[in-house]
């Protein structure tokens, strides 16, 4: 098998994390939707789709390399938030945790001389830099806005509506 057993195991754990992240972002989007903040809601619905895409990248990589992906149940998620800052801070912490997990996957792949996985994982290393940066910026914006969430809505609409740019959207 191309992918080493320890890497397969860690990638299957990652599939669960990515699907959980996707569902968690839906829960955050629903919170903002219920608060009548449609741009923040739309941002998190889009993030949910991205996380689902991340999970599916691992699923297809394992299938393509002859390994067996396991489709998991997602653990209990957080559905109650005390405010916008709390919700986005929760999202940021989730991204930081996923970053640690991706780094750990890279470490295992390197230890086991699994070069196909190392190559595949590089995309996720770059993606996490971008996602942590986006969530950090959003949290800072909420704090700067000091409770005036319509300013945050405007910021999201103008800056985070198409985080990958037009070119990427066309390429997909």
Contacts with ligand FEO, residue ranges (CB under 6 A): 18, 21, 51, 54, 95, 98, 131
103 close to 41: Cβ distance less than 8 angstroms: no
By C-beta, is 18 or 149 nearer to ligand FEO?
18
* 5 to 16, 75, 121, 122, 166: CA distances (angstroms): 17, 24, 16, 19, 39
Buried b (16+ CB within 10 A) or exposed e, 90-126: bbbebbeebbebbeebbebbeeeebeebbebbeebee
Say if residues 10 and 105 touch (Cβ distance below 8 Å).
Answer: yes
What minimum distance in Å lies between the beta carbon of 12 and ligand FEO?
A: 15
- Rg of the chain's alpha carbons, rounded to an integer? 17
Residue 33 Cβ vs ligand FEO, minimum distance, rounded to whole Å: 20
32 or 44, CB closer to ligand FEO?
44
Q: Name which of 149 and 160 has its Cβ closer to ligand FEO.
A: 160
Q: How far is the CB of 128 from ligand FEO (least distance, A)?
A: 6
Nearer to ligand FEO, 21 or 42 (CB): 21
**What would the two tokens of residue 152 be?**
């945050």
Nearer to ligand FEO, 151 or 163 (CB): 163
Shortest CB 121 distance to ligand FEO, Å? 12
Nearest to 55 by CA among 27, 118, 13: 13
Q: Which residue is nearest to ligand FEO (CB)?
A: 54
CB of 36 to ligand FEO, least distance (A): 26
CB 15 within 8 A of CB 23: no
SS3 content of the chain, % helix, strand, coil (to 5): 80, 0, 20
């Amino acid at each position: 098998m191309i992918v080493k057993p320890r890497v397969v195991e860690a990638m299957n754990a990652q599939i669960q994390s990515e699907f959980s992240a996707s569902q968690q972002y839906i829960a955050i989007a629903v919170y903002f939707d219920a608060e009548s903040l449609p741009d923040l809601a739309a941002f998190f619905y889009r993030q949910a789709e991205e996380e689902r895409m991340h999970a599916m990248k691992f699923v297809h990589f394992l299938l393509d390399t002859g390994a067996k992906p396991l489709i998991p149940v997602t653990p209990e998620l957080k559905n109650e938030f005390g405010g916008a800052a709390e919700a986005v801070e929760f999202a940021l912490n989730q991204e930081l945790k996923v970053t640690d997990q991706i780094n750990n996957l890279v470490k295992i792949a390197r230890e086991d001389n699994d070069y196909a996985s190392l190559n595949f994982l590089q995309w996720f290393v770059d993606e996490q830099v971008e996602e942590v940066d986006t969530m950090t910026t959003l949290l800072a914006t909420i704090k700067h806005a000091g409770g005036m969430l319509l300013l945050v809505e405007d910021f999201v609409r103008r800056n985070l509506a198409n985080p990958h740019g037009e070119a990427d959207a066309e390429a997909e």
